[in-house]
A and B are shown apart, each in its own frame.
Chain A
């Protein structure tokens, strides 16, 4: 890897690049998927290649190449340089990068058990047991469960002298039970929806998920939802479970604090942000209960690493401090516009794509409450579990989310299961109505594996630490 990087950087220098960096990436992925008692997928995949980023004539160029012979690498560097020169033809001002320490370092995700060392048959057996447990519920007609393991080695080198070798290990898994009747379809998932929950961790994370032990209960919940009452409508108190709180953070805090969005780089696609620079330091984003951080040092998050894909060290940045908007996630280029150093959030999906500002682990910091306290002190409201639907406008203000499960609360008690719950609002109004956040014991790290951004599109794995939290006077309805 080092030899590839050195050749790329030497060639870029000889072709006139004022700056160059290079990521050599090797990625292994193992996916197992069981559906209705059948192991549908046993897929082993490997991906290797090099991403080359250069600045020439003050403009960016990038080329990704899947071969590592000298001729292919030289051709790819030449392509990146030519692209940069074309960029310079439609340029307003030359690219400036905030200074960064040229680190020489190594990092590896700490794991108790390397997931690739666990025999495949043990993984298959776990999935089949999970499937069998879901199958005990007759109304469940579609049963799916899966495991995914990732080992990615990234070698980053820059013309400024950085040489960083990182290995990231991820383990993920989950189950979905779908119950059907003539007029209704309901799905329940565990530990999270959309296929799986994932962490930067080893096999131990899979064992902690308790897939077989949870399967029958979750399947029973799917069946019960078929005949549950529709969620009541109106303005009421909403309590979100930690997984839904994590997605709420993702959409309404994570994305709007990406500084490239704020500066217009994503305006044509992902959108912009309501959190404009003039609001920094004084805008009331949420209540005093709300502190949000971007923390690449949080243990086990999918955004946990030692260095980002510009070679900047992973760090903790406060985005919202006890309700006040106080920070952005930045890159070297966007930070330079404010005369600040990057806070290390540039990440690329793989070797073939450029790094963009991406969430690391955007966390809702723990509060002092508990779920049971929140329910016990709620006169009328709903407790909502596990995301089913999510949508938010291009400035990250007007949102609407649906959840798989809902419980109506009356006089401090859960009184009935309700289905097809939807809640909606406007981001700062919603977070200002937050009056309770779960404490450290109820706080956990969640993984989102389908965060989309950029053109060409990139799916990033990001983390969110969250606990159950409560909001007052929220608009609730039923689909």
Chain B
């Protein structure tokens, strides 16, 4: 049911806890404006929001779903309004809590006074999987040991704010908060102007400053900083790429990094370059297979040792997961008195650690009102709500708690206070959860105004999680007076950041993005050519030799994709061609190449121009399921749309990508691929002894038909055609054009560590170019017409050279050592 306007007004006041309207005319105006919009207009705004989010490809990866299950970020367009007085109180509570946790962390990996004094049960710390003994001596040089902290907040129906969970390792959500703001401000512009919501930029600047402040003293002058991502499959990869770009950090995976001489280094193209500050989005235990989990591929062997030596500052420090313990909440009030001499301002939701016999008996008795959590969060386990359990299940849980009490924590279930939300095309009350972010270096903690809220999809749920389909929601902290306009973050990072360095992995992905792009374009162009005769004379006689030659060529170009098999029945051709577009299993097909292109570009998305990202998000692949009734028409339309999208992408990359080393790799990949494809197509169309040369098809494939028509009168047709296809540098798809470009890009690459192999690449390119320059076309065009065998031999050598060149480039620039793995252990033997 839509919420009547009067109720809406009341509920807005409820969440934010503002005094009555008359004293806050600003909030009253906002409320009125929202009311005035009505569900229809809000629906339009929501649609616009979806479009904006789609455009940037804002997404969230859902675990446990098929590969590539990226969920578009969904947004509840109604912002959560918080009054500035209300916020000031929350802010103060958050800052106190962050200070407290910061001091506790230092104590737990230091003197452990809190345990000695009985402020915390020792088993709560020693028995927590996040207490990592190898991290004992790790300290950041900055005053604060927790540069970044986040808390999940909930407000109950009495208006009291509680902390549901603390995030102290690598909290996610800042990027989504920025995204929520960007979109909400754009779809509700006048409302946003009126609200004068506190801005987010100062927080980002502070965050960057605090990362710098955490740098090891020796590197403080010009620290180089990187963001360690678990990779494109991580649930919040989108945000990681975005933040790396915004803060000027190099986005790296574990395999990009290596420990040398006690320092962390990036495997850049030019060699190893040191990394001084590592903002890691990888959980503690996965960061170093040597001293932490040996089965991790996400970390860097030796990272703990480097952090201990203070040669690298890992943010947040390794081991900080010990604070992500839901049972800590019960002891924070006493800890606040001990560390700060203050009362805790922002309480944790009531928590009971079952390892304490008194708490356990309370939990066993009150199970229906409680939420059961594990002491240590597991990605595959959700909290258990006692209220939702059957009698039998409750008994089962009671046994479980008695058997392993120390592993479990129970918390009072709180029904989150609802706020007006736009869900299912209606303004409705929905429970909301707020995640707040804080950052500190040498100065006090600073809070991101508002943070990032989540709206539950259902009205009566206690469980709000992105993995379970919650919607994002912007949070506006209403300014009591207008804030001065602040400068936007500079687009280019300050000098000294390791941004110009191209990691080998990024170079490799760009190179392959170029190759997949061209490979898909070539297959689509050839498919278009093949469809022409097919469409003209349906049902086309399969015997048409030209068609047969084209299908055979398509087969060669797509690595014998079954969709282009020449042996199968001709009537099935259109359907089989559809397979080329839809079947991503077979390498070589269009669908496969597009999928590979998507993966390669996703891995370097922080380097791609915005327009290219939009095009990739909107890309017409995979195509919608085929309509079997009109396959040829559908094929023509689908393949044409895909081709145009790819050409647009190529254009966007060419126009907007900075012409740096990464661009040279992309272009090199494209030219090598084009050259190879040309060789394959020409050999198939012109050199097949069994059928006459198909000059027209070859020219059409290379877009050289218009030029051919202009020049055909001057000399024999075969000579003119071969000149256009092979020798004419003005023809963008000629072999000569590819080789010239290859030489240019090759020359622009950094010299690898191995000069010998670099010469190898150069020699291969030189041989290919020289053979072409020395080519006398009359060798191929004797009195008997085209000498197919001689041409074939020439082209085969060219193909070989390009393949060897590609391999050489890969071995010089991309090769990283095999993934690290642990040594076997030696059992101790008794004498």
A and B co-occur in one complex: no
